[in-house]
Chain A
Amino acid sequence: MNELHLPWLELAILVPTIAAIWVGRIHESSRARTASLAVAAITLFLTTACWIDFESLVTFEAHDHWDLVRAIIGRNELVIDKLNAPLLPLTTLLFFLTMLATPRVKFGKYSFSLGLLSLSSTLAVLSCRETWLLITFLAVNAIPMYVDLRSRGKSTRIFAFHIGLSLVCFIAGAVIYQYSDSEFWQGVAIVFLVTAVLIRSGCAPLHCWITDLFEHAAFGNALLFVTPLVGAYVAMRLILPIAPDWALHWIAFLSLFTALYASCMALVQTDSRRFFCYLFLSHSSLVLVGLETASPIGLTGALCVWFSVALSLTGLGLTLRCVEARTGPLSLAQYHGLYSHMPQLAGFFLLTGLSAVGFPCTIGFTGTELLVEAGIGISPLVGAVVVVSTAMNGIAILHAYFRIFTGTSHPSTIVLKTLKSERIAILTFTLLLIGAGLWPQPGVHSRFDAAVELLNHRGIAKIEIQADADPE
């Protein structure tokens, strides 16, 4: 396997881990924030350098120079490849922008130390492909969230039950798959693995832990726990290469159901966080729908939607968080009329929301189009469900926009306008969302390469592309 020029991956994971301990010892919250921002910026540099270094090697996968993990366990299990190369800087960017846009009033509630720990464990998950190490990192990844819920005095039962169940299923699936030879037991193992992924991704009816998380945990932490789509990553790494078609059909069926159900549920929510949560569930499920197509176009669409969900919905979540920091929890049962106080946040809310639903000239458009195209190839019903759920989400977005920003005049004696740090985050998101929408080719090309390699692992891409290219 090719080697990177420096141990970028391990540095990107270790720097925030060590810094989390240091930041945890800083008692003054504004200093903790500055330190965390600096660490997140360094990690962003490391992951971006890792991506650039990987691209310069012109290879499918590479591992760190002076690989510490290989020295310990004897194998190259932290890898960078076509799938995760852009995901690492993307995830770090989401953490950085979330920390940047955290308003002062949230400093007491948002733990920067836990944020850094979460960043490092998420990067560890996203750069790992070995089953047991991946399961370990998934378990570690859940710890900051659990601690956050505990520290707020909220019930951890739902979170612990679901995440625990998914880990148990992962372990059971991995053990059975590793030690069984018969087709039956391998099928059982796949069932366990699929169940674990569905729970971790929040597929209905096992999605309640995500709504609970958004209602009770710090919004920023909850946002960053779900938007990197770790469940989808595990599905691509563990399930796609080995799962038989029936398993993919089940994943797709439940994901489609979740996409439609969550889009309908988003329309009837009266709590802004629950609204956001269902919107997220509806979109994130579409990524798993692409698995079923098991075709280069469908998988490319799914991977593009992945980017769109991560960027758009983190942006949308941050907007909601900024508004909540000024007004307190928002009820969608009434109009708030906040537009005149925060027009930039209002515009950004609309932009991120529409981008998520695949509005033309935004990042979500191409991915949705590819996904629908591939879906119709399988069955018109699949394409129709994707189209209908995005239409419903579009209505839900405008409904929430009107409720929060219009409908009345909001009297306020204090200035509620956007802060400089929030403006920087908004501008960065806007440039990415519209830039990738107007010039989607590099992103789509990169995702297509990743999709082809994933399908090669499954052993079908070459055949299918050949068949597409030469119908005779």
Chain B
Amino acid sequence: MILSSWIPLLGYITVFSPIIFLLVVGFQLLIGRPMSEFALGRWLKSAIILSLFATLAILAIMLVTGSRREIVDMGNMVAIDRVHFHFHISLIFDRLSVPMAILSLVLCGTVGAFALSYLHRDAGFQRFFLSFAMFLVGMVMASLAGTIETLFLGWELVGLSSALLVAYYQERPTPVANGLRVWAIYRLADAAFLAAAVALHHQHSEGNFSVLMGNEAWPAGKASLSEGTALLVGTFLLIAAAGKSGLVPFSGWLPRAMEGPTPSSAIFYGALSVHLGVFLLLRVSPILDQSALLSSMVIILGLVSAILAAIAGRVQTDVKSALAFASLTQVSIIVVEIGFGLRYLALIHIIGHACMRSLQLLRAPTLMRDYKTMENAIGKSLDHGSPWIIGWLSRSTQLRLYRCAIERGYLDSMLDACIVRPFIRLFSMFNRWERAWTQWLSGSHKVIPIAVEDASHE
């Protein structure tokens, strides 16, 4: 009983340590007086260690007391009592959130320490750690979110920091274009998430998971939604998860995201950010149980993504892209596991995969050098082998598969051809019409080089 009374304080420490770190980093940049690398490193380490120890302490208390779920109520951000509108902030500590928060803090701590040396004296050092702090806050908030609004808050912070870090090397146009692409997909996912969140909020006038997913501790909850509503909300959430985790048809952003510095690739696209979509599916898994059709959609999406990622990963010529598709394969398998209702397995799979992939990505640059040394030593290329199934396929099938793999399933080209280009053409046309209309109204006859304008968008 006495031990449990410590949980709210520890919960606050868990969340506010990263928030204070973010505020400190943001404020010093805003006033134009950046602190030294050493000082920033101290702030980072203190924030993560404090937060991690607080979470571990909560875990220890829960193990000692046998509690399976603890809720830390942080009050209403907005409350309009007269119309029963509440925007509630609460943290939930259960078998899903505690491992995820610990995983986030351990990996952020490790990769943060690695990045302090990796980006030493880099021009974007402060900028990197501002985005990193934003990511850390986002992951901790999302992991421990007790309401769907809190989860959305963390989700958005993770999305923004991801896009900014993909465009980290901002003097070149390619990383920037890739950053924008990642952001565009994330915004789509955010829109789907927001729609689902508001729909859930609308049903119950609040977004508490303990109300929405039943009173039992995860994973035993039961959603208080009808099958139709569950299907609608679940579909939105599935789109959100697919966008965030790079599932089909949004897989194209994942290899593009590898443009960022190695530490961010490791933490974002190998370990944590890419798993946020599947974490969302795990958190709302009681909704999936409400609809067999929804569960089937989850399984099919996972299977298709896994197959595509496995094929595309075989033909990548740079190590980070190969690792990106390897990540995607595992994430897709986790989605299949969730669809089948194997939640503990999915959670363990997330933790194991995130740790292994972070290590691989951090090791990747030096591994390439070691390979080169080995190949020089033996005087020939290392044998990578090929899967047994290749031998069974005809030459033309192999070629078709190769083309499909090298084009990453034609997903990006398909999105460009079906959505992006028609969209730009249509609205560029409206833009021309509007300009012509205003010129006519103003009595001006100046010719505007529209062709140049349109070409820039292509």
A contact residues vs B (CB 8 Å cutoff): 155, 157-158, 161, 208, 211-212, 261, 264-265, 267-270, 296-297, 300, 332-335, 337, 339-340, 343-344, 347, 354, 359-361, 366, 369-370, 372-373, 376-377, 380, 383-384, 387-388, 390-392, 394-395, 398-399, 402, 405-409, 418, 423, 426-427, 430, 440-441, 444-445, 448, 452, 465, 468-469
B194 at the interface (CB under 8 A from A): yes
User: Closest 3 interchain pairs by CB?
Assistant: A333-B456, A406-B170, A391-B191
In the complex, what residues of A have CB within 8 A of residue B424's CB? 267-268
Q: A407-B171, A441-B79 are in contact. List 20 more A-B contacts (CB 8 A).
A: A157-B442, A161-B441, A208-B434, A265-B434, A296-B80, A297-B80, A333-B453, A333-B456, A360-B153, A369-B149, A372-B194, A380-B199, A384-B195, A395-B180, A395-B183, A402-B167, A408-B172, A440-B78, A448-B82, A465-B83
A208 touches B438 (CB 8 A): yes
For B173, the closest partner residue in chain A by CB is A407
The closest CB in chain B to the CB of A159 belongs to: B442
Determine the distance from Cα of A246 to Cα of B194 in the docked complex, in whole angstroms: 29
Give the docked Cα–Cα distance between A427 and B31 (Å): 8
Check A407–B87 contact: CB distance below 8 A.
no
Query: CA A341 – CA B209 in complex, angstroms?
Result: 46
B72, CB-defined interface residue at 8 Å: no
| B202, chain A: closest CB distance, angstroms | 5
Would you call A373 and B30 a contact (CB within 8 A)? no
Q: Are A391 and B187 touching (Cβ within 8 A)?
A: yes
Q: Which residues of chain A come closer than 8 Å to B453, judged between CB atoms?
A: 270, 333
Contacts of A440 in B (CB 8 A): 77-78
Q: A418 CA to B237 CA in the complex, in Å? A: 42
Sample of 18 A–B contacts (CB below 8 Å): A155-B444, A157-B441, A158-B442, A265-B427, A265-B431, A270-B457, A297-B80, A344-B29, A359-B160, A360-B156, A388-B191, A391-B190, A402-B179, A407-B170, A407-B171, A408-B172, A423-B32, A469-B82
Q: Which residues of B contact A369 (CB under 8 A)?
A: 87, 149, 198
Q: Please, what's the 1-or-0 string for B241-282, where 1 marks a CB less than 8 Å from any CB in chain A?
A: 000000000000000000000000000000000000000000
- Report Cα–Cα, A376/B452, bound state, in Å: 41
Contact B176 A376 (CB under 8 A): no
Please indicate the chain A residues that have their CB under 8 angstroms from the CB of B179 in the complex: 398, 402
- The main secondary structure of chain B at its interface with chain A is helix
Task: Check if A395 sits within 8 Å of B187, measured CB to CB.
Answer: yes
B85 contacts A by Cβ under 8 Å: yes
Q: Are A430 and B171 in contact (CB under 8 A)?
A: no
Complex Cα distance, B423 from A361, in Å, reads: 31
CA distance A300 to B163 in the complex (A): 32
B76 surroundings in chain A (CB, below 8 A): 441
Residue on A with the closest CB to B157? A360
CB distance from B102 to the nearest CB of A (A): 24
- The answer to whether B152 touches A158 (Cβ under 8 A) is no
Q: Please tell me if B88 contacts chain A, counting CB pairs below 8 Å.
A: no
A60 to chain B minimum Cβ distance, whole angstroms, is 16
- Tell me which of A296, A332, A339, A359 contacts B156 (CB under 8 A): A359
Within B43-76, the residues touching A (CB, 8 Å) are 76
B443 within 8 A of A: yes
Chain B residues whose CB sits within 8 angstroms of the CB of A264 once the complex forms: 423, 427
Q: Which of B83, B184, B202, B443 contacts A468 (CB 8 A)?
A: B83
**Measured between C-beta atoms, what is the minimum distance from B146 to chain A in Å?**
16
Q: In this complex, what residue of B is CB-closest to A405?
A: B170
Asked if B20 is an interface residue, CB under 8 A from chain A, the answer is no
Please, how many angstroms separate the alpha-carbon atoms of A406 and B430 in the complex?
Answer: 28
Contact residues on B (Cβ < 8 Å of other chain), bracket: 35 or more
Please indicate the chain A residues that have their CB under 8 angstroms from the CB of B430 in the complex: 261, 265
Which chain B positions have C-beta within 8 A of A373? 85, 198, 201-202
Quick one: closest B residue to A208, CB to CB? Answer: B438
Q: Which residues of B contact A337 (CB under 8 A)?
A: 170-171
Q: Using known A-B contacts A208-B434, A344-B30, determine if residue A469 contacts B443 with beta carbons closer than 8 Å.
A: no
Residue of B with least CB distance to A264? B427
How many angstroms between the C-alpha atoms of A265 and B187 in the bound complex? Answer: 17
CB neighbours (8 Å) of B30 from chain A are 344, 347, 426-427, 430
Taking a contact as CB atoms closer than 8 A, the residue among A261, A296, A388 that contacts B82 in the complex is: A296
Q: Which residues of A contact B149 (CB under 8 A)?
A: 369
Contacts of A426 in B (CB 8 A): 30
Cα A337 to Cα B172 in complex, Å, equals 9
Are the C-beta atoms of B87 and A366 separated by less than 8 Å?
yes
Rounded to whole angstroms, the CA-CA distance of A267 and B422 in the bound complex is 13
| Residues from 189 to 241 in B contacting A, C-beta threshold 8 Å | 190-191, 194-195, 198-199, 201-202
A347 to B176, CA, bound (A): 16
Asked if residues A157 and B195 are in contact (CB atoms below 8 Å), the reply is no
C-alpha gap A335/B180 in the complex (Å): 13
Chain B: minimal CB distance from A357 (Å) = 9
B284, chain A: closest CB distance, angstroms: 18
Are B423 and A360 interface neighbours, CB within 8 A?
A: no
A residues less than 8 Å from B118 (CB atoms) = none
Instruction: Judge if B188 is at the interface, Cβ distance under 8 Å.
Output: yes
Q: A208-B434, A211-B434, A387-B195 are in contact. Are A333 and B180 (CB under 8 A)?
A: no
**Is there a chain A Cβ closer than 8 Å to B344's Cβ?**
no
Cross-chain contact of A395 among B153, B184, B443 (Cβ < 8 A): B184
Q: Check A334–B77 contact: CB distance below 8 A.
A: no
Residues of B contacting A430 with CB < 8 Å? 30
Tell whether B110 is near chain A: CB-to-CB under 8 Å: no
In the complex with contacts A270-B456, A388-B191, A448-B84 CB distance below 8 A = no
Measured CA separation A387–B187 after assembly (Å): 10
Measured between alpha carbons, how far is A242 from B438 in the docked complex, in Å?
34
Give the residues in chain A near B443, CB-CB below 8 Å.
Answer: 155, 157
Quick check: is B428 within 8 A (CB to CB) of the other chain? yes
B437 part of interface (Cβ distance < 8 Å): yes
Determine if A335 and B195 form an interchain contact, defined as CB atoms under 8 angstroms apart. Answer: no
Within the complex, the shortest CB–CB distance from B261 to chain A, in Å, comes to: 15
Minimum CB–CB distance for A386 against chain B, Å = 9
* Structural contact, A376 and B202, CB atoms closer than 8 A: yes
A-side contacts of B123, CB under 8 Å: 340
Q: B180, A399: Cβ atoms under 8 Å?
A: yes
Contact B83 A297 (CB under 8 A): yes
B77 cross-chain contacts in A, Cβ below 8 A: 366, 440-441
